[in-house]
Structure 1
Amino acid sequence: MELRERPAAKSLEEAAALIGIAPASIVKTLVVKRADDTYLFALIPGDRAISWPKLRAVVGVNKLQLPDPQRALEATGYERGTIVPIGSTTDWPVFADEAIVGERIAMGAGAHGYSLFVDADELIASYRATVADISQPLTGD
């Protein structure tokens, strides 16, 4: 694991350029709310979007949503754009997109202006993450 400081970025693509990696190598950690007000983390490659139907099927629920920024902060202890399972205030289940398996990835580091580089397989093993196809290509770009 390596923590690297970087200038503030206005987008995932800008962050990738600043640290010299492809957008796909930045993994977005999305905190997702279930209907029962519990949460989970979804790890999605930066060049893809979450697939709600696929994630609902893997989780086994009919409804999932992204919470508003304040609820995300309360659920994890992190602001949006800095969320990472590591050090979260609650140990929510982790669901990782299969595309990150075997990769060295960069992700949020709990504070703006930092990137955390980790071996995805070690992260998956450490959190006993469920690995599945939970993403789709970005649309509207």
Structure 2
Amino acid sequence: MLDWVPVADRIDLLADPVAKAVQETGADLRVAEIDPALSDTAAFCERYGVAPEDSANCVIVAGKRGGEVRYAAVLVLAEDRADVNGVVRRHLDVRKVSFAPQAEAVELTGMEYGGITPIGLPAAWPVLVDENVTRRDFIVIGSGVRRSKLALSGKALVAATGAEVLSLAM
């Protein structure tokens, strides 16, 4: 059972860049502490009884254009796959896009792998959110660390991140 509390009550459960972003935006979020060994989506959903359609995955992608590396966060429901090589590649205007290497994603975000979230990412990075995520009144996302999860509505997620809403799911 998850014990969701206002994020202001447990800011210690967030990665530093996430905590800073939450405090700056005043986003209405809830946080719950979890077993870090169960942070991966499938294990988390099974153990804590969260439906995959109420959970979203955030991945960091990178593409190059003219020698410049372009990063973005891509968020889709846990039950969906993102069209990285189609919609995301065209949106970033790059020839090829791939998932950012784990060490690179961790270093650039200041977050733990398996807990990366769209809140608190570098300001220059676009946050691309699938339209299905925005339709959810309750969505669980990472907190920047593996030992907790955040919950908010899809619309609040877009507001907190300045996300671009696209049709990303395949």
Same fold (TM over 0.5): yes
> Does residue 95 of the first structure (1) align with residue 128 of the second (2)?
yes
Residue 148 of structure 2 aligns with an amino acid whose one-letter code is Y
1:85 aligns with 2:114: no
Give the structure with higher Rg (CA).
2
Q: Is the 8 A contact 2:40 2:114 kept in 1?
A: no
Residue of structure 2 in register with 1:115 after alignment: 149
Is the 8 Å Cα contact of residues 62 and 71 (structure 2) preserved in structure 1? Answer: yes
Matched, 1:128 2:162: yes
| Partners of 1:110 and 1:78 in 2: CA distance | 5
Q: Paired residue for 1:70? A: 103
Encode CA deviations 1:74-133: one digit per residue, 9 max, x unaligned.
221112211012223x12210001111121110111111211111110111232211111
Aligned to 1:27: 56
Structure 2 CA distance for aligned equivalents of residues 20 and 62 of structure 1: 40
- TM value normalised by structure 2: 0.73
Q: 2:71 aligns with which of 18, 35, 39?
A: 39
Gaps of 5+ in 2: 1-28
Letter in 2 for 1:49: R
Which aligned segments of 4 or more residues in structure 1 are displaced greater than 4 angstroms? none
Cα distance in 1 between the residues matched to 2:70 and 2:89: 14
Q: d(CA) in 1 for partners of 2:81 and 2:118?
A: 18
Q: For the residues of structure 1 that align with 2:30 and 2:112, how far apart are their CA atoms?
A: 21
Structure 2: distance between partners of 1:26 and 1:101: 12
CA distance in 2, matches of 1:70, 1:112: 15
**Corresponding residue of 1:6:** 34
* Count of residues in correspondence between the two structures: 135
Question: Judging changes above 3 Å, is the alpha-carbon distance between structure 1 residues 128 and 4 closer, same or farther for their aligned structure 2 residues?
Answer: same
What secondary structure sits across from 1:134 in the alignment?
coil
Higher percent of residues as helix: 2
Pick which of 92-101 and 57-66 moved more: 57-66
- Tell whether the 8 Å contact from 1:69 to 1:79 is kept in structure 2 after alignment: no
Flag structure 1 segments of 5+ consecutive residues without an equivalent: 137-141
Partners of 2:40 and 2:163 in 1: how far apart?
26
TM-score (norm 1): 0.86
Query: Percent same amino acid at aligned positions?
Result: 25
The SS at the match of 1:31 is strand
Supply the AA of the counterpart residue of 1:70: A
